[in-house]
Amino acid sequence: MALRGPAGLGPGSRRPLDEAVAGAEGREAPALMAAGGAPEDNEQDDGRGQGLLRWDGFSAWLHCVCVVGFDLELGQAVEVIYPQHSKLTDKEKTNICYLSFPDSNSGCLGDTQFCFRFRQSSGRRVSLHCLLDQFDKDLPVYLKKDPAYFYGYVYFRQVRDKSLKRGYFQKSLVLISKLPYIHFFHTVLKQIAPEYFEKSEPYLEAACNDVDRWPAPVPGKTLYLPIMGVVMKVRIPTCHDKPGTTQIVQLTQQADTNISVILPTVHEVDIFRCFCPVFLHSQMLWELVLLGEPLVVMAPSPSESSETVLALVNCISPLKYFSDFRPYFTIHDSEFKEYTTRTQAPPSVILGVTNPFFAKTLQHWPHIIRIGDLKPTGEIPKQVKVKKLKNLKTLDSKPGVYTSYKPYLNRDEEIIKQLQKGVQQKRPSEAQSVILRRYFLELTQSFIIPLERYVASLMPLQKSISPWKSPPQLRQFLPEEFMKTLEKTGPQLTSRIKGDWIGLYRHFLKSPNFDGWFKTRRKEMTQKLEALHLEALCEEDLLLWIQKHTEVETVDLVLKLKNKLLQADREHLPVKPDTMEKLRTHIDAIILALPEDLQGILLKTGMT
């Protein structure tokens, strides 16, 4: 395997980037881009604003676009990286090269789409003008970007070509992004990849220029995204959306002729199609994902492996899956040794694999799902059985769930009957997915509500918050105290499913998913306490306070209040806008009450 990147676009292609890079390095004139794009972009409050650097619009959605080809002498190679200034380490390029092509045994002829996820190289400098951070706070927790990982969205083409030595044309167009918007980026690739393979680099450059003119990915807004003559209508969910609701309002009767594609979701996969071969065991798989158990999906192609892994991760939504997951994993992956070693227990990770070699390498893993070809919509494969791990010898073994795991909960026969009835009645896969997604959502909510209720009780009473003392601390999470609450306010209030719920909770409290969930909740509640403390300070008569205290104490108060303002802004504390204004007014009033020499010093110290 060899690398050619970061390769240019060839001598014949347009190079609009040169001026932009030069401008960004110091020449003022070309560094700023006119706020432009389609007229409708300007009408949206899209977060782009005036004076964005060239490629900032692109960077809000994508890190870069790669073209990976196959060379008889070099093997897989990065032929193009666009924009040309995009930074990828050699290790990242190597991972992209191997992950962008199906394993040779997959035999993927024609066009194939799939997704992979890989670890970002350590020590990478984060872009200072990255637009994603300001939107992250409004996203649901399961859609927040993970700073340590990139996603790769692949459109791979393999067709016979007698003019080539190898006899086949093999190439992948790959979108590299921090955003986990699987359905959205697969749709983008469907629009641009087929034509790219015909028209080559100038077409890719034009598509990237279209992306650079897109409005920013603001959660909660309906966005109109034009690309190569097609306009996509999307809405990115927010943390305030009711779970399970449709994320985009469908067009009214008055059709908008400018809209070519309406996406009802940006991130969801066809969950029923993925669970179809194993839907009798859906509830057991939900438990394994919830508990962060090591899980391998062995599939015939990267499309099936990546879709199934993403469906598994998605099944505990709105909980976030906090462990690592790899929709498509190969023997060349930089974490291969780490994840396949037998010297320690398998890590908490979900791997999607296609290479037969893994059947031997991962034999010691406790839970393995072996699936055959996913059937087209409307067809249902033979249901697989739960089998003992010792029966799994090769990737040619029969499809099945290979595990010795005993579920904590009794199987819900009603959902199975409902889905089976849907299959008999030829109910569309989309409708089956809605039923299965709602079932998983209700199961997860029944499980998490008692935990939410208990964690809310750890919050100090509002009357204990004093403006002149540090905000009070949250009470400690005590597992046994929580367990006692389940008798009266457990999942039996909202779920018909019987079983060992207590055992499931005990196991969950030791899992990475609980650790991640509780850290997130604790941070949110600590920020809430800080916000309430800020509001308590604003209600005080601070001018009366300074009359009773020395100048030194007054200056100390001003500095502390300024720090509070900075903290509220930096940490996005949930404070009301008028609270911030009140605090600024208080600071100004206190400074004006001080001698002039101190006023000058304090007005220069940070913002007011």
13-22, 242-251, 316-325, 589-598: least confident range? 13-22
pLDDT at 341: 87
Answer yes or no: is pLDDT of 483 > 90: yes
Q: Determine the Cα–Cα distance for residues 154 and 174; give it in Å rounded to an integer.
A: 5
Which residue, 482, 476, 527, is CA-closest to 504?
Answer: 482
Residue 40's pLDDT band, with cuts at 50, 70 and 90, is: very low
- Residue 38 is predicted with a pLDDT of 35
Convert the pLDDT of each residue in 316-348 to its tens digit: 999 999 999 999 999 988 889 889 888 888 999
Rounded to whole angstroms, how far apart are CA atoms 443 and 553?
55
Q: Is it true that the peptide bond before 6 is cis, omega within 30 degrees of 0?
A: yes
- Could you tell me which residues come within 8 angstroms of residue 553 by beta carbon, excluding any fewer than 6 positions away? 546
548 pLDDT more than 90: no
- Residue-level pLDDT at 509: 97
Q: Where are the beta strands (DSSP E) in 338-405?
A: 349-353, 367-370, 386-387, 400-403
Compute the distance between CA of residue 512 and CA of residue 321 in angstroms, rounded to an integer. Answer: 9
Which pLDDT belongs to residue 406? 95
Answer yes or no: is pLDDT of 596 > 60: yes
CATH number of the domain at 54-215, out of 3.40.50.20, 3.30.450.200, 3.40.50.12280, 3.30.360.10? Answer: 3.30.450.200
Sheet holding 400-403, edge to edge: 324-326, 349-353, 295-298, 367-370, 400-403, 386-387
The confidence score (pLDDT) of residue 49 equals 46
DSSP, collapsed to helix, strand or coil, labels residue 443 as helix
> Can you give the pLDDT at residue 434?
92
Overall average pLDDT of the 520-528 stretch:
92
H or E element in which residue 583 lies: helix 577-592
In this model, does residue 362 exceed pLDDT 80?
A: yes
pLDDT of 82 > 50? The answer is yes
Examine the pLDDT at 302 and tell me if it is beyond 70: yes
- How confident is residue 52, by pLDDT bands cut at 50, 70 and 90? low
CA angle 373, 174, 362 (to 5 degrees): 45
Q: How far apart are CA 83 and CA 209, in angstroms?
A: 10
The one-letter amino acid at 542 = L
Rounded to whole angstroms, the Cα distance separating 9 from 156 reads: 20
Residue 535, pLDDT above cutoff 50: yes
Residue 297 DSSP SS3: strand
| Predicted pLDDT of residue 539 | 80
What is the rounded average pLDDT of the residues 438-452?
96
The encoded tokens of residue 433 equal 């997915």
Per-residue pLDDT band for 24 (boundaries 50, 70, 90) equals very low
Residue 385: predicted pLDDT = 66
Strand order in the sheet with 64-71: 75-82, 64-71, 168-177, 149-160, 110-119
- Segment 353-364 shows an average pLDDT of 88
| β-strand pairing of 324-326 with 349-353 | parallel
pLDDT at 247 over 70: no
Query: Residue 11: is its pLDDT beyond 70?
Result: no
pLDDT at 46 over 60: no
Confidence band, pLDDT 50/70/90 cuts, at residue 546 = confident
| pLDDT for position 348 | 95
Higher pLDDT, 117 or 536: 117
pTM listed for this prediction? 0.83
What is the per-residue pLDDT for 14? 36
Work out the pLDDT band at 167, boundaries 50, 70, 90. Answer: confident
Q: How many CB atoms lie within 10 A of CB 515?
A: 14
Q: Which residue has the higher pLDDT, 242 or 225?
A: 225
Average pLDDT over residues 543-566: 84
pLDDT of residue 107: 65
Tell whether the model's pLDDT for residue 258 goes beyond 90. no
Question: pLDDT (tens digit, 9 = 90+) per residue, 102-139?
Answer: 986 666 778 999 999 999 987 655 543 445 566 788 88
Question: What is the CATH number assigned to the segment(s) 271-430?
Answer: 3.40.50
Q: How confident is the model at residue 383 (pLDDT cuts 50, 70, 90)?
A: low
The residue extents of the domains of the chain are 54-215, 271-430, 440-511, 540-603
What would the mean pLDDT of 360-386 be, rounded to a whole number? 73
pLDDT at residue 126, as a whole number: 52
What is the arithmetic mean of pLDDT over 138-160? 91
The answer to whether the bond into 318 is cis (omega within 30° of 0) is: yes
* Dist CA 17 CA 82 (whole Å): 10
On the question of a cis peptide bond just before residue 83, with omega within 30 degrees of 0, the verdict is yes
Q: Are 71 and 62 in contact (CB under 8 A)?
A: no
Strands (E), 446-492: none
State which amino acid sits at residue 569. Answer: D
Average pLDDT, the chain: 82
> Is the model's pLDDT at 169 over the cut of 60?
yes
Question: Which pLDDT score is estimated for 159?
Answer: 85
**Which tens digit of pLDDT belongs to each residue from 204-237?**
999 999 999 999 999 999 999 999 989 999 999 9
Instruction: Answer for the pair 234, 223: CB distance below 8 angstroms, yes or no.
Output: yes
pLDDT over 90 at 447, yes or no:
yes
